[in-house]
């Protein structure tokens, strides 16, 4: 986002006004026409289905599986009032918030090292952070299943017992902790990348000035670096939160029955129970949650537009 903004800025500054004028007559057909196929495609296969889903979440399904009237909000009430389902909602929120917070704390050092080291170090770190992004989530979940395996043959337990940290094997797999670990692994790059690009934009002179004036390193970080990197933090936190809240694979592989998230509940309602309206209602709640977080973050990024060093 930011890189393209700058490219636009550079182009508008450097393109002579003549070229701007000319680009208008160069195109016989208005260039906007080129967006129509994709607009039509997304309207039909993305926008309309989303609205249809919203619509079916306030309808009733009869015994033959036909969805229609009467209109009702009962499905939403059920999600909040039935303890079993309400717990899933809270688990989802808890896992998403803890994962985002952990990702933030751990991504700052990595992003700082990424931005401020020698090119060689930066390249290696970037590669290690980004490469797993392309590896299937199922495979990464499976990797953690092997690491966290309950019993003395699991890697984590073997290490802990060899170092005499614990005497008996601990059970991490199929707990909320395992889901947080897996989610952190899968979505960590989404936090590092925006942070690194925000940190890269900070004028080093500002940090140097603080240091010259006698601020210790932690104070430089807290009073200069941290406030200036806020846009990156907000963008990263939003991404990690949204992706974790909407995940299915990691809780399915690492959480088992003890850490069911909204995504797993939706799948169960649709494929096992065949309760479409209820599944749709849970989906709407999940989308609402994600869009709300995205809305707040946009508002923060727009409202607290930090002056970029020119």
Partner 1 sequence: MDERFSGFGAFILYTITAGMMLFILTPLLLVMAASVSDSYFVTFPPQGFTLKWYAKVLQDRDFLEAMRLSILLALGTTVGSLLFGVPAAFALVRGHFVGLAAIKGFLLSPLIFPALITGLALLQVLNKLGSTDARLNLLIGHIVVTSPYVIRTVVTSLQLVDENLEDAARTLGASRLRTFWRVTLPQIASGVAAGGLFAFMVSFDNYPVTMWLANSEYSPVPLVLMRQLVNVFDPSVPAMSTIIILMAMVGVLILEKLVGLRRALAA
Q: Which of residues 112-171 bind partner 1 (CB under 8 A)?
A: 112-113, 116-119, 125-147, 149, 153-155, 158
> With binding defined as CB under 8 A, does residue 263 bind partner 1?
yes
Structure token pair of residue 217? 């390193």
Q: How far apart are CA 203 and CA 115, in angstroms?
A: 12
Does 233 bind partner 1 (CB under 8 A)? Our answer is: no
Which of 73/291 has CB closer to partner 1?
291
283 scored as a contact of partner 1 (CB under 8 A): yes
Shortest Cβ distance from residue 141 to partner 1 (Å)? 8
How far does the chain reach from its first CA to its final CA, in angstroms?
17
Stretch of 70-78, 168-176, 280-288, 302-310 lying at the interface with partner 1 (CB under 8 A): 280-288
Question: Using an 8 Å Cβ cutoff, are 183 and 99 in contact?
Answer: yes
Say if residues 267 and 248 touch (Cβ distance below 8 Å): yes
Tracing tokens 């649709």 back to the chain, one arrives at: 270
Report CA torsion sign: 198, 200, 206, 207.
positive
Question: Are 274 and 56 in contact, with CB atoms under 8 Å apart?
Answer: no
DSSP state, residue 253 = I
Regarding 296 and contact with partner 1 (CB under 8 A), the answer is no
Residue 21 CB, nearest distance to partner 1 (Å)? 11
The string of DSSP letters for 27-44 reads: -SS-GGGGGHHHHHHHII
> Which stretch, 72-80, 85-93, 237-245, 302-310, contacts partner 1 (CB under 8 A)?
237-245
Residue 183 in tokens: 């989610």
Sequence length of the chain is 310
Q: At what angle do helices 276-303 and 262-271 cross, to 10 degrees?
A: 150
In terms of Cα–Cα distance, which of 263, 284, 301 is closest to 183?
263
Give the tokens for residue 197: 């690009």
Among the listed ranges 40-48, 70-78, 91-99, 301-309, the one in contact with partner 1 (CB under 8 A) is 40-48
Which residues make beta-bridge pairs with 67?
A: 61
Eight-state DSSP code of residue 308 = P
Question: Is the CB of 19 or the CB of 86 nearer to partner 1?
Answer: 19
Q: Provide the mask over 241-260, with x wherever binding to partner 1 is found by CB under 8 A and - wherever it is not.
A: -x--xxxxx--xx-------
Does 7 bind partner 1 (CB under 8 A)? Our answer is: yes
| Closer of 81 and 136 to partner 1 (Cβ) | 136
DSSP labels for 132-169? Answer: GGGS-HHHHHHHHHHHH-SSTTSHHHHHHHHTTS-SS-
CB of 218 to partner 1, least distance (A): 7
Between 176 and 238, CB nearer to partner 1: 238
CB of 156 to partner 1, least distance (A): 8
Among 98, 101, 106, 300, binds partner 1 (CB under 8 A): 106
Instruction: Indicate whether 290 belongs to the interface with partner 1 (CB under 8 A).
Output: yes
Site for partner 1 in 168-207 (CB under 8 A): 185, 188-189, 193-194, 196-197, 204, 207
How does DSSP assign 83-99, residue by residue? HHHHHHHHHHHHHHHHH
With CB under 8 A as the contact rule, the residue among 21, 34, 66, 165 that binds partner 1 is 34
Q: Which stretch binds partner 1 (CB under 8 A): 15-23, 81-89, 92-100, 169-177?
A: 15-23
């Amino acid at each position: 986002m930011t890189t393209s903004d700058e490219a636009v800025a550079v182009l508008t500054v450097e393109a002579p006004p003549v070229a701007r004028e000319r680009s208008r007559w160069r195109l016989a057909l208005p260039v906007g026409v080129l967006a129509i196929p994709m607009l039509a495609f997304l309207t039909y296969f993305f926008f309309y289905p989303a609205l249809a889903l919203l619509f079916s979440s306030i309808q009733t399904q009869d015994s033959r599986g036909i969805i229609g009237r009467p209109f009702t909000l009962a499905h939403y009430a059920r999600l909040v009032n039935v303890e079993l389902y309400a717990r899933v909602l809270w688990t989802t929120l808890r896992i998403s918030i803890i994962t985002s917070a952990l990702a933030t704390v751990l991504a700052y050092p990595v992003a700082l090292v990424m931005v401020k080291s020698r090119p060689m170090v930066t390249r290696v770190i970037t590669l290690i952070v980004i490469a797993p992004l392309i590896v299937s989530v199922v495979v990464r979940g499976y990797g953690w299943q092997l690491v966290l395996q309950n019993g003395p043959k699991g890697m984590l337990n073997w290490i802990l017992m060899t170092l005499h940290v614990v005497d008996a094997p601990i059970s991490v797999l199929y707990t909320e902790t395992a889901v947080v670990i897996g989610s952190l692994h899968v979505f960590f790059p989404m936090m590092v990348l925006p942070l690194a690009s925000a940190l890269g934009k900070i004028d080093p002179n500002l940090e140097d000035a603080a240091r010259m004036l006698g601020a210790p390193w932690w104070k430089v970080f807290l009073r200069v670096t941290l406030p200036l990197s806020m846009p990156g933090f907000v963008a990263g936190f939003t991404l990690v939160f949204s992706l974790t809240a909407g995940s299915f694979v990691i809780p399915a592989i690492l959480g088992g029955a003890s850490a069911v998230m909204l995504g797993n509940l939706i799948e169960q309602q649709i494929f096992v129970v065949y309760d479409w309206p209820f599944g749709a209602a849970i989906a709407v709640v999940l989308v609402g949650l994600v869009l709300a977080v995205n809305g707040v973050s946009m508002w923060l990024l727009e409202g607290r537009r930090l002056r970029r060093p020119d």
